[in-house]
A and B are shown apart, each in its own frame.
Chain A
Amino acid sequence: MNQRDVELLSAYLDGQLKPSDSARLEARLKSDAELVSVMDDLRAARNLLRRLPQRRAPRNFTLTPKMVGQNPPMPRAYPLFRFATTIATLMLFFTFGLNFLAPQMAAQPGGMGGGGGSDLFAEEQAPAAAESSIATEAPAATEPPATEAPFASVPQATVLPTLDGDSRAAETEMANTGSAADEEQAKIANEVPPAPVSIAWQIALAGIALIGALFMLMMRQSAFRRWRQKE
């Protein structure tokens, strides 16, 4: 018995032979007892397998959107909040970096020149300068750095006297108590260096980021809640 005959017999049992092949095999089966015996073996195995009981699935294999990594549909305003939160957070971190770097830049002339950061630096610097102008009630003195800010590069700023926060505060105190000339001098000394971003801006940015994140969280929770109810 060769492999070819076994294949023929197996396909014959499944009705998969061409009529001409079937007729030839049937003719051989009439005279070949071994062929008949092998066909019986194949048929017995086939019947046993076909009689195996189909088991019921032990549980339902239905999928939940979570299983396939789907998220519930979010409200239309969600991307807006996400954008605002991201920008506010990035800007907040940037102001921290700026406040940290500004005194160092002032100490090292030309330590950081122009580049992509200078525009943003100027943007932050302008409101900061404006705020301090309100604090000192000397708008005229504060105008120049504010208007010049977009063009003022960092190296330009670093040429100016180095003053840390404490010494600047001390200067201001002195200016308040001293003569008008001294006051003017102190004001100039106080205003001209690139003022780090004021705390008010940082609080505002943190507030935007926090409120945005809070809204996003609420939107997500309500979207998931609605989704679960639907399921």
Chain B
Amino acid sequence: MNEPALIQDAQKGNVDAFNTLILHYQDSVYNTALRILGDEDQAADAAQEAFISAFKSINSFRGGSFKAWLMRTVTNACYDELRRQKRRPTTPLEPDSEDGEEMDSPRWLADPSMTPAQKSEADELEHAIQHCLNNLPLEFKTVVVMADIQGMDYTEVATSVRVPLGTIKSRLARARLRLRECLQGFAELLPASYRLEEGKAAL
């Protein structure tokens, strides 16, 4: 994929060129939105909005990391979605079962390609992580999602969030520490892989 050429074509109004970029980045964009918002439908809406908004403002892209620029659009779309949620009655991020208890392995975190045992283990781990992410302040969550889930480097994250590099380092460190503290509360729920990780870390 010749990214610079596609961006140039998109800047001239070529939707097909931009669609090629969308197909390349849509999983990253969707996952970022999903981890920030914690809800599949909202994440899909935010991703779609982000791409529409990105195409309309593509002329503001002046080079550098396109992914970082795109991620900024996604986080803005997520913030808009969260603001909308605040204005209207919210539905719970984690679905409840019929008796009102929160489901440990909600359908919205399931991956159909796994065996039931794997699925259950992964579900619980993912659910726990998403729960802890949801409890983070938004600015911490954005940074940790970009750096640790999307694998972006500090410079890219700083470009995306438009804060100094030092602030990124600080937010990331604090976010990781808070996540670790939160996840310790899920120790008995977490699968063997997590305890193995804990054991490895202790060595």
Contact = CB atoms under 8 A, between A and B. Distances in A.
B173 A11 contact: yes
Contacts of A60: 22-23, 26
B202 A40 contact: yes
A67 interface: yes
Contacts of B27: 54-57
Max count, chain A CB within 10 A of own CB: residue among B56, B149, B173: B173
Interface string B119-148: 000100110010000000000000010011
Interface stretch (A1-9, A144-152, A209-217): A1-9
Interface in A45-70: 45-65, 67-68, 70
A45 B13 contact: no
A61 B198 contact: no
A10 interface: yes
B129 A49 contact: yes
A16 B148 contact: no
A150 B129 CA distance: 84
Given A41-B176, A49-B129, A52-B129, 9 more contacts: A3-B174, A10-B173, A42-B176, A44-B201, A47-B197, A48-B183, A59-B44, A63-B51, A70-B13
Given A49-B149, A55-B31, A14 B154 contact: yes
Contacts of B193: 51
A43 interface: yes
Contacts of B8: none
A68 B55 contact: yes
Nearest to B13: A70
Given A40-B201, A48-B129, A63-B51, A6 B180 contact: no
A16 B129 contact: no
A44 B180 contact: yes
A49 B52 CA distance: 29
B104 interface: no
**Range for the number of chain A residues in contact with chain B:** 35 or more
Contacts of A45: 176-177, 179-180, 183
B172 A10 contact: yes
A50 B48 CA distance: 25
B122 A53 contact: yes
Nearest to A39: B201
A184 to B, nearest CB: 70
A54 B113 CA distance: 13
Contacts of A49: 129, 144, 148-149, 179
B129 A61 contact: no
Contact of B180 (A3, A42, A53): A42
B30 A57 contact: yes
B81 interface: no
Interface in B29-67: 29-31, 34-35, 40, 44, 47-48, 51-52, 55-56
B18 interface: yes
A61 B15 contact: no
Contacts of A38: 177
A51 B15 CA distance: 34
